[in-house]
Structure 1
Amino acid sequence: MPHSLLVSLQQHIMEVRALCIRLLMTVNILLCRHDQNVDGSVILESPAVPVMVGDAVTLRCRIKMLSSNFTADFYKNGRHIGSSSTGNMTIHEVYKTDEGLYKCNISGGGESLASWLSVSLPCLTVSYTETHIDLILRTVFNIVMVALLLLLLGFLCCGKIKVTTTNSPAC
């Protein structure tokens, strides 16, 4: 198996594993939200898709009916990580350690539902030419194999190759 094809397969397996983990986390969060006694008036806005390591991300805490500024407390995995008088908290350079369950609290307004922030490592990319070459090689290999199979069948049908069976045991 060519090395680049093996690397590509390993990357796909890793992506599937990551998606399964995210799905389980989403189900867990939804079950937790179902159990929480929150009326939904405080909302934490966070990225719905994973952010890349090194990117900046802003979490916004707001009250459904109000748009004015207020002080919001932010929590990660249940621990207080900061307060903001604008309701916004920015992580200027995200690391894998920033991944976790975030929520916010507005004094007198309530607490938001928890939201999972997912952080992805930069993907190893395969250049277009390598991918293109792999596709060409796989296609040529398949064509050659089909041609050999048809040639073998042709020889068998025309009688050029005879299949004989013997009663003697194989060595």
Structure 2
Amino acid sequence: MKSSQHKTTEWSDSVTLTVSDNKPRPVLTVSPSWLSPGASVTLNCQVEHPSAGWSFYWYKAVPDLSEKSSSYELLPDGSGTAQDSYIIHGQTHTAGYVCRAGRGDPEYHTDHSQPKFVWSADVHSAASLTVSPDRVQHFTSDSVSLTCEGNFTEWRVRKFSEDGRLYSDCRRMTGSTCNIYTSKSDTAVYWCESGSGEFSSAVNITVQNDGNGPILVSPVHPVTEGASVSLSCSLRTQKILSNVFFYHNDKLIQNDTRGELKISAVSKSDEGFYKCQYSGRESAQSWMSVKADGSSSPVWLIVGLVCGVSLIIILLLLLYRCRRTNSETFSFTYHHSMKLCSEFNMGNMGQGTITLYPH
């Protein structure tokens, strides 16, 4: 009878297993960063080790000033989507977003991502941010005031710096105004958040690090189509300069003795990056945004209503007369009246007698 023999192998190499209480944190990206009229916003949520089985959750960040942070509200149909992207339509104002992921049964969730923001430059009535002095570019050690405006008692100014850091507190906040003495690190996007969860429009601030170089003086907020705007070049020691070169999207557009670039009636084609050059030194470039004139739509609506009502009245009169006259007379009167209506409306539109002022 054979005896059983037990054989063993050599020991394997050791493996270290680490168990961590820290949950993984996904990375959220937002595209585009700046809103344009009619554009949709796409959110993408990326986990560190992507694999099958993840579900994704999408949230709107709501300012919570008492906690110096934000609370999260689930977006419509944003619970447990199979896709790692989410599209938002109709977003018009500055907003913050957050995502997280989950999988398994019971479901294991990651931490929430860091909030990411989509910014709108358009000023709206609920909340707004004004900058004094009203320009994008500033010299180092300039005194700049950022003021939050709206029907709210509590505010905070937020800052998203060039290196991707988000700051929640203003170093010198007095009431609704944040006062800064500019340094290079203050180059950033700024906006206001109210205690009621409202976001203001966002502005770019650029700090010129070259003490001897010029800055471009350009408006912080979008310029309305049809309005006039002036851009100029300035030194720390000399505010008014002459013989300045102005560039639009890196193309030279003015080179003469004037120290100012004046656009009498701004159009959408004037939107873009601008910079100036003086004595061989260039300023940084700044984006000038152009927004549609909100008064144009009511003008066309009024003109259309006047013409439409006029045509209805004329047609009713013609129908009444049709019973008393023959078809030849009707045809002549109708075409003659249509011509009069057309001439009347074209004449009024040409005169531009209706004037609406943007608020």
TM-score using structure 2 length? 0.26
| Aligned residues of 1:62 and 1:87 also touching (Cα < 8 A) | no
> What do you get for the CA RMSD once the two structures are aligned?
3.5
| Aligned residues of 2:211 and 2:236 also touching (Cα < 8 A) | no
| Aligned residues of 2:226 and 2:293 also touching (Cα < 8 A) | no
Residues 1:20 and 2:192 are matched in the alignment:
no
Equivalent residue for 2:290?
A: 119
How far is the alpha carbon of 1:37 from its aligned partner?
Answer: 7.8
Q: How does 1:1-171 map to 2 (within 5 A)?
A: 13-16=91-94, 20=119, 22=121, 38-39=210-211, 41-67=213-239, 69-108=241-280, 110-123=281-294
User: Using a 3 Å threshold, how does the CA distance of structure 1 residues 27 and 91 change in structure 2: closer, same or farther?
Assistant: farther
Instruction: Name the CA distance, whole Å, in 1 between partners of 2:272 and 2:231.
Output: 13
Greater relative CO (CA pairs within 8 A, separation 6+) = 1
| Aligned residues of 1:56 and 1:90 also touching (Cα < 8 A) | yes
Secondary structure of the residue aligned to 2:245 is strand
| Aligned residues of 2:240 and 2:259 also touching (Cα < 8 A) | no
How far is the alpha carbon of 1:70 from its aligned partner?
Answer: 2.2
Secondary structure of the residue aligned to 1:66 is coil
Instruction: Name the CA distance, whole Å, in 2 between partners of 1:40 and 1:16.
Output: 35
Give me the identity figure in percent.
Answer: 31
User: Using a 3 Å threshold, how does the CA distance of structure 1 residues 48 and 40 change in structure 2: closer, same or farther?
Assistant: farther
Q: What amino acid is aligned across from residue 46 of structure 1 in structure 2? A: S
Q: Higher Cα Rg: structure 1 or 2? A: 2
Equivalent residue for 1:136?
A: none
Instruction: Name the CA distance, whole Å, in 2 between partners of 1:68 and 1:125.
Output: 36
Which ranges in structure 1 are unaligned for 5 or more consecutive residues? 1-11, 128-171
Q: Deviations over 1:116-156 (max 9, x none)?
A: 111001237999xxxxxxxxxxxxxxxxxxxxxxxxxxxxx
How far is the alpha carbon of 1:83 from its aligned partner?
Answer: 1.9
Q: What amino acid is aligned across from residue 14 of structure 1 in structure 2? A: T
Q: What amino acid is aligned across from residue 43 of structure 1 in structure 2? A: I
Which ranges in structure 2 are unaligned for 5 or more consecutive residues? 1-89, 96-117, 122-159, 163-186, 189-205, 299-359
User: Using a 3 Å threshold, how does the CA distance of structure 1 residues 92 and 125 change in structure 2: closer, same or farther?
Assistant: closer
| Aligned residues of 1:41 and 1:112 also touching (Cα < 8 A) | yes
Q: What amino acid is aligned across from residue 220 of structure 2 in structure 1? A: A
Equivalent residue for 1:6?
A: none
| Aligned residues of 1:40 and 1:112 also touching (Cα < 8 A) | no
User: Using a 3 Å threshold, how does the CA distance of structure 1 residues 43 and 73 change in structure 2: closer, same or farther?
Assistant: same
How far is the alpha carbon of 1:100 from its aligned partner?
Answer: 0.5
How far is the alpha carbon of 1:15 from its aligned partner?
Answer: 4.4
Instruction: Name the CA distance, whole Å, in 1 between partners of 2:297 and 2:241.
Output: 46
User: Using a 3 Å threshold, how does the CA distance of structure 1 residues 68 and 125 change in structure 2: closer, same or farther?
Assistant: closer
Instruction: Name the CA distance, whole Å, in 2 between partners of 1:51 and 1:118.
Output: 6
Larger strand fraction of residues: 2
Q: Deviations over 1:20-50 (max 9, x none)?
A: 265xxx977x58x79x984463011011110
Instruction: Name the CA distance, whole Å, in 2 between partners of 1:77 and 1:125.
Output: 28
Q: What amino acid is aligned across from residue 83 of structure 1 in structure 2? A: N
Instruction: Name the CA distance, whole Å, in 1 between partners of 2:161 and 2:224.
Output: 23
Instruction: Name the CA distance, whole Å, in 2 between partners of 1:69 and 1:122.
Output: 32
Instruction: Name the CA distance, whole Å, in 2 between partners of 1:88 and 1:61.
Output: 7
Worse-matched range after superposition: 63-72 or 51-60: 63-72
Q: What amino acid is aligned across from residue 234 of structure 2 in structure 1? A: R
Instruction: Name the CA distance, whole Å, in 1 between partners of 2:222 and 2:238.
Output: 28
